Structure 1
């Protein structure tokens, strides 16, 4: 009886394992940490809020200390965390530290979205949850009393709404920006800008230095099939491959500015550069910028934010969000 309960039915190594009894064991990911109402390290307060109970969507909000002598509304960042759509959390240590630093440096009000994870909630759930979270944030602009998160109402500047994310979260940010180019946000809000940190894009045709052989066994391929098993296009799904067959034109991006960040040693680097060039050539009317850090690997600034290169990355993000 005990052995059958622990029988593995599927796994995505090295990330997680699924057992016959439905238990999901996440093998990677940082531990969850509580919010702090006044973190002395960076003078940023954080708190957790519920966006929706059905479906279950929540978020962690970050508010930098504001001088009473220099009161001003702050840009709003709706942020989507990374982790391959299946690990990590808006409440995890790595993301909490990262958003605290970013909120402090950029002087922004950040809303880090806790979307539901695969495999319990396969894609497109994360996209739907993230869109619902953005709509919830935008609904505060109406001031009609239906929603009342005081930090957003008191401190948020709805003329400066940004979205952003890293890795899988950057993939979400891209797809949310594409949807915002077609659908209307509450209050007629326009997304000022989007940043994509080391975006997770992939496809069946190798680009640049990507591996040519065994692409089906590559983690980037296995991960997508694991988190989106019902995709009819597989790894050429337009959500993952913005250049693949059937992908909509990038001129539909619904934001005014776009920052694409890549790292020299990242296996996703060449596809990020291709994305930047494709946006430039699409006829999109916004401003797009590429920021590359040589000699670094995927999401290096999240894992070790104290290095000189990480500090350079934070300065770039802060400049983009506060411009």
Structure 2
């Protein structure tokens, strides 16, 4: 912590959208929220959605998406599988409420006829890794608790049944990294999650980085997502 008379300096600058000052203060621009809100929300009548809290100590929420059905599906073959989607954003940006991610999950629920779970997780640099990984584990623990309790959330009790033995974890970019971490932690048959069974992990353009360059990092650098930005 510098003295009161010391002039603050910008130590890290992420495209002007997020700045880390020399005293540890994090400044977030409202620009990115304004940009994302310009994307229209899907308003099709084929999917219902609602928000729910999954981790009270950190006030973390998730959004549930369920396709509308007039039939009461109860047998295993027709119950809804579960898709858990972790959004991207370089571990620093993103929310379940962003229209881009909302529309994607809305379409997933409709096209796959699945229950989609889209959680928020703590973002860096205010909450450095492994905070996001810990939150992702909490999501699967929450799902396990719902399965064990028979569905405390009324969405698991009414309408199409939910098949907790057919769970798939999907992640985009940094969310793909999170999905990878969960695959290493839980695999497909972890007793820690019983009766939930994760049948597969889908990584969409997963973000990985380390001391050694990956093949994609060795290739031509993109205009905005360049190595200088990724290394931060």
**Which interval holds the TM-score relative to the shorter structure?**
0.7 to 0.9
Match of 1:13 in 2: 14
Match of 2:197 in 1: 190
Distance in structure 1 (CA, Å) of the matches to 2:119 and 2:176: 13
Match of 1:73 in 2: 79
Partner-residue secondary structure (3-state), 2:122 = coil
Q: 1:212 to 1:192 in 2, by over 3 A?
A: closer
1:271-282 equivalent positions in 2, closer than 5 A: none
Return the match for 1:139 from 142, 145, 155: 145
Distance in structure 2 (CA, Å) of the matches to 1:175 and 1:21: 28
Query: Is contact 2:87-2:101 (8 Å) kept?
Result: yes
Match of 1:218 in 2: 228
Return the match for 2:27 from 24, 27, 31: 24
Root-mean-square deviation (CA, aligned residues, Å) is 3.2
Deviation of 1:31 after TM superposition, in Å, equals 3.9
Query: Is contact 2:82-2:163 (8 Å) kept?
Result: yes
Distance in structure 2 (CA, Å) of the matches to 1:142 and 1:134: 12
Deviation of 1:89 after TM superposition, in Å, equals 0.6
Partner-residue secondary structure (3-state), 1:75 = strand
TM-score (norm 1): 0.58
Count of matched residue positions in the alignment of Structure 1 and Structure 2: 212
Partner-residue secondary structure (3-state), 1:195 = strand
Deviation of 1:69 after TM superposition, in Å, equals 6.9
Residue deviations 1:224-267 (CA, integer Å, cap 9, x gap): xxxxxxxxxxxxxxxxxxxxxxxxxxxxxxxxxxxxxxxxxxxx
Structure with more of its chain in helix, by fraction: 1
Deviation of 1:59 after TM superposition, in Å, equals 0.3
Query: Is contact 1:80-1:112 (8 Å) kept?
Result: yes
Indicate yes or no: 2:60 matched with 1:54: no
Query: Is contact 1:75-1:157 (8 Å) kept?
Result: yes
Q: 1:40 to 1:32 in 2, by over 3 A?
A: closer
Deviation of 1:213 after TM superposition, in Å, equals 11
Indicate yes or no: 2:160 matched with 1:158: no
Q: 1:206 to 1:49 in 2, by over 3 A?
A: same
Q: 1:31 to 1:8 in 2, by over 3 A?
A: farther
Distance in structure 2 (CA, Å) of the matches to 1:70 and 1:43: 16
Return the match for 1:106 from 102, 112, 124: 112
Partner-residue secondary structure (3-state), 2:194 = helix
Query: Is contact 2:147-2:195 (8 Å) kept?
Result: no
Distance in structure 1 (CA, Å) of the matches to 2:196 and 2:136: 16
Larger RCO (CA under 8 A, 6+ residues apart): 2
Partner-residue secondary structure (3-state), 1:185 = helix
Q: 1:153 to 1:115 in 2, by over 3 A?
A: farther
Residue ranges of structure 2 left out of the alignment (5+ in a row): none
Distance in structure 1 (CA, Å) of the matches to 2:132 and 2:124: 8
Residue deviations 1:107-137 (CA, integer Å, cap 9, x gap): 1101101111111111100000110011101
